[in-house]
Amino acid sequence: MRFITKKSIPRRTFLKGAGASLALPLLDAMIPAATAAANTPALGIRRLGYVFMPMGCDQSRWTPKSEGNLDELSPILESLAPVKDKATVFTNMELRPAYPGSHATSNSSFLSAAKAKVTESSDYYLGTTADQVAAKQIGQQTQLPSLELAMDLLQTVGQCDNGYACVYQNNLSWSSPTTPLPAEAHPRLVFESLFGEGGTAEERQAALRERASLLDSIAEDMNRLKRDLGSSDQAKVTDYLDSIREVERRIQKAEADSKENPLPDLDRPLGVPAAYGDHARLMFDLQLLAFQGDITRVTTFQIARETSNRTYPEIGVPDPHHPLSHHGDNPAKIARMAKINAFHVSLFAEYLQKLQNTPEGNGSLLDNVLMLYGSGIGNPNVHDHTNLPVIVAGGANAGMKGNRHLRFEKPTPLANLHLSLLDKAGVKLDKFGDSTGKIENLFDTLSI
């Protein structure tokens, strides 16, 4: 562990153990070691999170009934009620680069706002995605420049959708027009990437066998640190370590359960929770820990993939998602699709509440991160890329307003929102994708 005084400790302080390296959350004791402006509201705002929802939604149950505010939430968005003061819902955003319309381009254009080259081979070409534009600027001071997560195994190759290579549908993040970044769906592998010291898979497994828990291996270093911290910081560290231990326990339980029942869902990696909701919550909690420990400042999460045939028996929907999305205006199918939409939003809302309940600086972790949730398809029955379901949450310390429903008079490029969020995260661009400018009045006059 780095040298610690009772006055201050460096922001990039790590606890070391056998095969483990644990970054700490922001502590009061770190403030004097930072810049003179460290205690301003802008302390931690340079964080961006993106959550992709596939196959659009039932727009009649998505669009808020109240204009200008979220006083009357729609059925799909009801779960946002506890955090609606930190959320803005957008109506009439479009993704024109995704046309002529496909599942592949919905996924590929969502963060790139770029047109995918039509090809079934390896000469694919897209554009650098917004998360990776940010990672190149705000992700260089952290252990991981960015973190790419998913819920499904993405083993399909070749042609997946109307002449488009599967790479477009499988990968949400691209670090260059020719470099897709695969996402990880296995919680154990994500956990090790956040808290392990690297090495080969065999070396990591050997380190795991040497210790019962990551936290056990850093106990001596942790106790030494706590002696030098005030009571408030000790409580923060204890809460953070308890959260890590609980996530690790859930991962271990899922792995133990899979040994007893080694037949996984075809899209689900072996060793993850059997229930979709439990798996998703675990992946969201890993993102929270990554933000809290400043391990990364940019995350992407594909909450399900386009054309997913996953079923959701835990919410009473035994039908595969993709066929339901092509509902043919059948009211019963639309209603079941809307239940899936609402379930996905509820998991995101739970994550926002956890961010809100995590103190950081003079606010919460949610105040210091901008979260974008949405889909690249509006009406999935016709593969429409207009009137997209989009939510932005958090960012109060960047002046982001909440409790709003912003309805644009005419279709507005999603790229305009990307440009605006990048700007508030400290990434200054004149243009992104097919943007026509930043969104006015999205933030108040507070400057970062």
Alpha carbon of residue 262 to chain centroid: 29
Helix 231-260 with 276-292: angle, nearest 10 deg: 150
Q: Are residues 303 and 214 in the same domain?
A: no
146 pLDDT more than 60: yes
Using pLDDT thresholds of 50, 70 and 90, give the confidence band for residue 173. Answer: very high
pLDDT in tens, 283-299: 999 999 999 999 999 99
- Extract the tokens encoding 176: 């260059």
Q: Both 235 and 313 in a single domain?
A: no
Q: 128-132, 207-211, 250-254, 430-434: which range is least confident on average?
A: 207-211
DSSP 88-156: EEEEEEE-GGGTT--HHHHHHHHHH--PPP--SSS-------HHHHHHHHHSTTSSSS-EEEESS----
Q: Which residue has the tokens 């001071």?
A: 141
Q: Is the CB of residue 113 less than 8 Å from the CB of residue 132?
A: no
- Domain membership of residue 447 (yes or no) is no
273: preceding bond cis by omega (within 30 degrees): no
Considering the domain architecture, whether residues 283 and 249 belong to the same structural domain is answered as no
Angle, in degrees to the nearest 10, between helices 130-138 and 414-424: 10
Contacts of 109 (CB under 8 A, 6+ apart): 95, 97, 98, 115, 116, 376, 385
Q: Cα–Cα distance between 410 and 414 in angstroms, integer?
A: 12
Q: What is the pLDDT of residue 126?
A: 98
Q: Which of 239, 266, 293 is the last residue of a domain?
A: 266
If you search the block for the tokens 């705002």, which residue do you land on?
Answer: 45
**Residue carrying structure tokens 């990696």:** 269
Banded model confidence at residue 332, pLDDT cuts 50, 70, 90: very high
The one-letter amino acid code at 258 reads S
Instruction: Give the ranges where 196-330 is alpha helix by DSSP (H).
Output: 201-210, 214-217, 219-227, 231-260, 276-292, 321-325
Total number of domains in the chain: 2
Q: Closest Cα to residue 155, out of 141, 170, 145, 143?
A: 170
Last residue of a domain, one of 243, 266, 289: 266
Do 300 and 157 belong to one domain?
yes
Of all residues in the chain, the percent with pLDDT exceeding 70 is: 85
Mean pLDDT within 318-325: 96
Question: Which of the four pLDDT bands, split at 50, 70 and 90, describes residue 5?
Answer: very low
Give the residue from 306, 300, 342, 301 showing the smallest Cα distance to 321.
Answer: 306
Q: Which two tokens stand for residue 285?
A: 């909690």
Average pLDDT over residues 150-163: 70
**Is the same domain home to 29 and 125?**
no
Q: For residue 2, what pLDDT is reported? A: 39
The tens digit of pLDDT for each residue in 106-121 reads 999 999 999 999 998 8
In a domain, 448, yes or no: no
67 falls within a domain: yes
Q: Does residue 75 lie in a domain region?
A: yes
**CA pair distance 404, 64, nearest whole angstrom:** 10
Question: Comparing C-alpha atoms, which of 370, 367, 345, 344 is closest to residue 356?
Answer: 367
Pair 386, 308 in one domain: yes
> What's the pLDDT at 420?
97
What's the confidence (pLDDT) of residue 351?
98
Do 205 and 277 share a structural domain? no
Q: Which of 266, 283, 299 is the last residue of a domain?
A: 266
Computed on alpha carbons and rounded to an integer, the radius of gyration of the chain in Å comes to 22
* Same domain assignment for residues 116 and 239: no
Tell whether 227 and 281 lie within a shared domain: no
Q: Is residue 103 part of a domain?
A: yes
Examine the pLDDT at 9 and tell me if it is beyond 60.
Answer: yes
Do 320 and 370 share a domain, yes or no?
Answer: yes
Instruction: State the Cα–Cα distance between residues 40 and 37, nearest whole angstrom.
Output: 6
Range of the domain at 279: 47-185+272-424
Q: Is 426 exposed, middle or buried (0-12, 13-18, 19+ CB in 10 A)?
A: middle
Q: What is the CATH number of the domain that holds 288?
A: 3.40.720
Q: Please report whether residue 438 resides in a domain.
A: no
Query: Among 210, 184, 189, which Cα is nearest to 254's?
Result: 189
Q: What is the pLDDT of residue 8?
A: 67
In a domain, 430, yes or no: no
Same domain, 146 and 203: no
Query: Is 442 within a domain?
Result: no
CB neighbours (10 Å) of residue 398?
26
| Distances in whole angstroms, Cα of residue 83 to Cα of each of 183, 225, 351, 394, 418 | 28, 34, 10, 9, 22
> Residue 36: its pLDDT value, please?
41
Beta partners for residue 371, in sequence order: 49, 393
Which secondary structure element, helix H or strand E, spans residue 188, and what is its range?
Answer: helix 187-195
Beta pairing, strands 164-165 & 159-161:
antiparallel
Please check whether residues 150 and 276 belong to one and the same domain. yes
